[in-house]
A = this chain, B = another copy of it.
């Protein structure tokens, strides 16, 4: 007979086997946490799921459709397309996985061997859990990188190594969502990770509109108005998200606008979440980190700005690394109190640690070969090749859109995306609006669905990112190689306009 000790309210008894019960039904969506149902993530939503189905069909029968492959323009995933990983990264990572490779004479350049040894010396094995905040020596490298980039010293204690930038966003929104009246200012259009994570936290997304006519510029005055208006409604803004360079817009914030955002944060005690994962994907205008502007402002007026809290995020998934699947990233917390950082640390420790090979990749990204190092030339050749390639692809696609009837598209300054506008008016495109109504789709959903079904090109309707009511956009990466898919898109568009306009 079993006894339950210390639970005195439980009657000790022998369990009688009983199979005469009525089985309970399984769970349905309605039985689940409402906020998990409400969260939406368009980048991997309905249209990409349909693209997967088409891809399977093509694998089984390459003659299924008039196109021979799916062009995955829905997600910034360079190595899924034709971008090659950097040799420097992968040589070091291969040694970390199998240190016996160090015994092969003269196979790897000396700096690769040296770096692999120094990382192994710090992490021990990539198969061991690291410190939950990330390996201390890698955090030192990150702090050095930031110090050099901005000209203001960074502290390794403020660095958290994370699985891409997504994990960092999740920690921040988790700690800042105190009730269903917690608001988060996000740009519209935005990267839907933000709305999804806000929904999971049962908090309120407060969108500020980027100005399409001014190349998607940010408007600090509008943000001040929104803070005030929401306060009146009882919604307390906890953080202001900036994505710089912008996803999906490709815009880069001006220094002046950044300093206005910092003033807002200083006055209202709002955390600035600076999503700077595209900081290395820049074609025009210089990238300046929010952190750098803050330190400059602190220099001239320490008292006013010492309390400003900036969380800046970076990742190995974008830039010229494109190592999305390796899940490397970091977050720096500037201006946060120790007790708040301790809570973030606790959340990180519940997840044990971010993948250690991804942490090593962060080290390789922030501390690349220098001029004169054996790996430098190849590294330089590969990285500038990718930079040039991305710039060219962006220009080519941008030009193609502006040649399409009733499409306009801002020239991207950075990132990996274009967010063209479908100028389909009710008058000219009555048939389109009617068809969309019948199909229970929005106009941009209908366009993207038709594009996928006719050409195999998978991109995402603007409504997945947010857009001014009554306007229609789509987001596409410009990563896919070649011209044929762009030509197919142009042909499709011509046909689409012909079918639906009058």
Contacts and interface: CB of A to CB of B under 8 A. Distances in A.
Contact of A90 (B90, B97, B225, B336): B97
A217 interface: yes
Interface string A1-24: 011111101110111011101111
Given A19-B263, A336-B26, A337-B27, A343 B37 contact: yes
A77 B129 CA distance: 6
Given A97-B90, A104-B107, A350-B41, A324 B127 contact: yes
A407 to B, nearest CB: 18
Contacts of A494: none
A5 B304 contact: no
Interface string A400-418: 0000000000000000000
Interface string A179-220: 000000000000001001100110000000101111001011
A17 B352 CA distance: 45
A6 B207 CA distance: 12
A39 B346 contact: yes
Contact of A125 (B79, B98, B225): B79
Interface residues of A, number: 138
Nearest to A11: B225
Given A104-B104, A211-B2, A263 B18 contact: yes
B178 A33 contact: yes
23 contacts: A2-B214, A4-B219, A5-B211, A6-B471, A7-B209, A10-B225, A15-B219, A15-B224, A21-B266, A21-B304, A23-B305, A24-B270, A33-B178, A36-B175, A41-B349, A45-B349, A79-B125, A80-B129, A94-B94, A128-B325, A166-B351, A200-B350, A326-B356
A381 B22 CA distance: 51
B352 A355 contact: no
A350 B6 contact: no
A458 interface: no
A390 interface: no
A144 to B, nearest CB: 20
Q: How many copies altogether? A: 2
A180 to B, nearest CB: 12
Given A31-B178, A350-B197, A211 B130 contact: no
A271 B104 CA distance: 52
Given A26-B307, A27-B340, 15 more contacts: A7-B222, A13-B221, A15-B224, A18-B263, A23-B267, A24-B266, A29-B337, A29-B343, A33-B174, A33-B177, A79-B124, A80-B129, A85-B127, A197-B350, A326-B357
A460 to B, nearest CB: 13
Interface string A404-441: 00000000000000000000000000000000000000
A309 interface: yes
Interface string A113-145: 000000000011111111110000000000000
Nearest to A27: B340
Given A347-B36, A350-B39, A304 B23 contact: yes
Contacts of A126: 325-326
Nearest to A75: B129
A501 interface: no
Nearest to A130: B325
A294 to B, nearest CB: 13
A335 interface: yes
Contacts of A4: 209, 211, 219, 222
A327 B307 contact: no
A129 to B, nearest CB: 4
A117 to B, nearest CB: 15
A470 interface: yes
A123 B325 contact: yes
